[in-house]
A = this chain, B = another copy of it.
Amino acid sequence: MTAPVVVVGGDAAGMSAAAEARRCDPRRPVIVLERTRHVSYAACGFPYWLGRVVEDRGRLVAHTAERLRERRGIDVRLGAEVVGVDPEARTVRLAEGPPVAYGALVLATGARPVRPPVPGADGPGVLTLRDMDSAIALDAALAGRAGGRVLLVGSGPIGLEMAENLCRRGMAVHLIEALDRLAPALHPDVSAPVAEALDRGCATARHGVRLTRLAARDGGVEAVVDGVAERYDLVLLGTGVRPAAEPAVGAGCRLGERGAVAVDRAGRTSVPGVLAAGDCATAWHRILERDVWMPLATTANRQGRVAGRTACGVDARFPGIVGSWVSEAFGVGFGGTGLDEDAAREAGFRPAAVLRTGRDRSGYMPGVREVRVRLVYDEPTGRLVGGQVSGGGDVSSRLHTLAAAVTAGMTVEDLAGLDFAYAPPLSALRDPLELAAAAVTGDGP
């Protein structure tokens, strides 16, 4: 079988699929069709390059197209825009040049920014951040504008990361959030330290405000917020993304939640020979026990590897997600895993929640930081179904412990009774996770 594995999209999911296909079947050609001039970059690192925490943009590129061709034998084609898929003939049509035949096709077309439905939202000076080209454009727009004013729309994780990094870049950042609080993915009890850190930073932040118009003005952008017009040097939209599913739609693939390409655990779409992975595709949620759309780099990477194997006829199965995510802004980490109360109810649980504040290390050690933990559990059974963490210490690894507990079906009692390791500079005698769980079981303050 020599018909190539063709991958559309050359970043997280696509390049993982290509590399895995190459690894599983070294004799089979692997072709990557990438619309832009950039492949295999760490998009999650863009805020840190824009803030010059990472000085060299090249550091975000894992492998160049040349290197992938020469060292790995992956036929990476840049500037190759897919305009159609013919699943009967098993060919992909490009904007330019002859069609490309495939044996298996992996669609890894990612997601694209959503612009808010206000006049001027796609006008000059109104930018988004998604792929490498958008990062380069934003960098160019910032060049020589230190001290300028940026209106940042949206306070999701990437909005908050950008707020911090635009401050680092010397900009005056004005963050607005339409919802009734900042960092709306977090419960207010958990997001409070994030909002406080933002206040201490260079940024001003307002929530519950309405952006109604954007318009080019004096080389910048005039924005009308709650009826008041102000001029900014530029506007950055952090108002979410949607699946880039056009090639899949053209191929006749069934769509799932939020318009993402529906895939099974092996990465197969509803169309034979067509697979999908990453931000354009759905992902199996292990606790909800259904497909969801939650575009994240970790999932893209993993689904890409699964699709690469499936494309080669090797058995592979995406283990599923539990909804783990994490971010950091202004020195405060925050994130979550599992279900919140609404999702828990939808899944048939009877959720209750508990909040406790603990410490990341012994209280007498220098640098001790507060850690907030909010656990969501099924009240009748005590089963832990989710949690959120914010504050100091390693929020990420603390979430991994919660993810393990949620995935394993542990109860709050199991978590309270977990054998936590302790050393004064590294942890507290009672970990914040233990304290939160023990508050439910009655074994704690």
Contact yes or no, B397 A326, CB < 8 A: no
The answer to whether A383 has its CB under 8 Å from any CB of chain B is no
User: Are B419 and A324 closer than 8 Å at their CB atoms?
Assistant: yes
Those 10 A-B pairs whose CB atoms lie nearest each other, nearest first: A394-B394, A319-B417, A397-B397, A408-B408, A326-B421, A396-B427, A324-B421, A59-B364, A396-B426, A404-B404
Partner of A298, one of B299, B393, B421: B421
Q: In A342-387, which residues have CB < 8 Å from any B CB?
A: 362, 364-366
- Are A322 and B396 within 8 A (Cβ)? no
Q: How many residues of A contact B (CB 8 A)?
A: 69
Q: Which residues of A approach B to under 8 Å, CB–CB?
A: 42, 44-45, 48, 53-54, 59-60, 157, 161, 286, 296-299, 301, 305, 319-328, 333, 335, 337, 362, 364-366, 393-401, 403-405, 407-410, 414-427, 429-431, 433, 443
Kindly list chain B residues whose C-beta atoms are within 8 Å of the C-beta of A427: 326, 396-397
Decide: A422 near B323, CB < 8 A? Known: A394-B393, A427-B396: no
Give me 10 A-to-B residue pairs in the complex whose CB atoms sit less than 8 angstroms apart, sorted by A's number.
Answer: A157-B423, A324-B419, A324-B420, A397-B398, A397-B401, A400-B418, A400-B420, A403-B419, A403-B420, A408-B410
A422-B396 in contact (CB<8A): yes
Contact A53 B417 (CB under 8 A): no
Contact B394 A364 (CB under 8 A): no
How far is the CB of A52 from the nearest CB of chain B, in Å?
Answer: 11
Given A319-B418, A396-B423, A397-B400, 9 new contacts (CB under 8 A)? A42-B424, A53-B365, A161-B423, A297-B422, A298-B421, A396-B427, A405-B408, A408-B409, A408-B414
Query: How long is the Cα–Cα vector from A434 to B334 in the complex, in angstroms?
Result: 21
| Chain B, residue nearest A333 (CB) | B426
Cβ-defined contact, B425 with A400, below 8 A: no
Closest to A364 in B: B59
CB proximity of A252 to chain B, nearest CB, Å: 31
Interfacial chain B residues near A395, Cβ < 8 Å? 426
Question: Closest B-chain residue to A397, C-beta based?
Answer: B397
Contact B429 A400 (CB under 8 A): no
A161 contacts across to B, CB distance below 8 A: 423
A161 to B362, CA, bound (A): 15
A325: B residues at CB distance < 8 A: 421-422
Residue of A53, A365, A366, A429 contacting most chain B CB atoms (<10 Å) = A429
Q: Which of B297, B400, B424, B429 contacts A301 (CB 8 A)?
A: B429
Min CB–CB distance A337 → chain B (angstroms):
7
The residue in chain B whose Cβ has the minimal distance to the Cβ of A44 is B424
Whether the Cβ atoms of B322 and A419 lie closer than 8 Å is: yes
Interface contact B396-A298, CB-CB below 8 Å: no
A407-B419 contact, Cβ under 8 Å, with A362-B45, A397-B397: yes
Instruction: Output the residue of A53, A286, A327, A423 with the most chain B CB within 10 A.
Output: A423
